[in-house]
Amino acid sequence: MAVAEYQAIGFQKGLSYFLLFAAITPLIISIYKEQDEETFKKLLEIQLILGALNLLYILIEPEYVSSHGGRFRGIFGNPNGLAMYCYFAIVMFWILRSHFKLNMSRSFEVVFMILFFGLLLLSGSRASFISVIIFLVLSRFKRNEFFAGTVITTIALFFSEEIVSLLQNFIVFLGFEEQFRITGNEAQSISTGSGRLVAWRFAWQKIETAFFFGRGWAFEETWFHLPTVQASLNQLNHQGGAHNVFVIFWLNTGIVGLLLFMLGLFRAIYKASQNNKLAIPLVFSALFLCNFEPWLAASLNPYTIQFLLVLSVMLFIPKHKNEEVTELSST
């Protein structure tokens, strides 16, 4: 790839990412002012319809049950993509229902949760499954959510092997070992991230050569998909890119860019938590997912958009209907 072409792609990706962040919040506020919270109820109904469409493919297109150990991929074409959509659907349901006190029937709530938990199980994605658990556990805390999330994350970091072993035994006890790929000759350890650890170690070689400022927005995608690099990774049981938001930001923008992004994100989460305490469970569960999937490092996917949607709601739309919408300039 020529230098000019590489620079053009990097500029386009950076501009796309900026425009996404600049557009979502004003759009959400405008929708709320014009149509009130009923719009968000309809959004959840659309989520339910999209989730149900995935089930139709079991009958219409049986080949959509992929070869990844029988993992279901639905209309997303990828089991992990379907699983992340389930995670965000569940999180969005929990946050929007809490934030607006939506008047939804009990049957809708039951069908919604059964559908997306079922699809999540069929996808066999361990990262998205654990992210949902983190969100639901932290959402039960009435106070000190940030402290609880920090403690839980720290414990997971220092005792990951023990937690993985316990989780594997529990999954086997429930009889879901095939769905979560933890038995037999083809089993893969949760702790290795299904080969992602290989990619992270591979990426570190390049991080060391541009530690502080990175190599530009398009570098991770361009370098990881070079034929020679992919051939080496395939031999080590890995396909695709870095599969880690933090590694991608570090490769592309350096430690400076990564820290600035994280500082801005935590500032936004802190402000959102003043309006809705579910902002804390959202950030810890989402950051856990960032450790295994690259969604937040890209703009052209349904996951970053959903994350910004619920974050914008908690940042700028008060929980009580009779209050005025927060102005953008106040933040």
Q: What is the DSSP string of 280-310?
A: HHHHHHHHHHHTT--GGG-SSSHHHHHHHHH
Secondary structure letter of residue 327 according to DSSP: P
Q: Is 292 in contact with 281 (CB distance < 8 Å)? A: no
Q: For the chain (length 331 residues), average pLDDT per consecutive 10?
A: 72 89 91 85 93 84 63 83 94 93 89 94 83 88 68 61 59 60 47 60 80 83 75 68 85 92 92 91 89 87 93 88 47 44
72, β-bridge pairs: 65
Position 48 scores a pLDDT of 94
User: What single-letter amino acid sits at 290?
Assistant: C
**Rounded CA separation 178/188 (Å):** 11
Which pLDDT does position 44 carry in this prediction? 94
In angstroms, the CA 267 to CA 24 distance is 18
Alpha carbons 216 and 3: distance in angstroms, whole number: 12
The pTM for the full model equals 0.83
Residue labelled with tokens 């990426």? 203
Contact between 164 and 189 under an 8 Å Cβ cutoff? The reply is: yes
Residues 6 or more apart whose Cβ sits within 8 Å of residue 139? 94, 278, 281
Where residue 252 falls (left for φ over 0; alpha for ψ -120 to 50; beta otherwise) is alpha
Distance CA 58, CA 60 (A): 6
102 three-state secondary structure:
coil
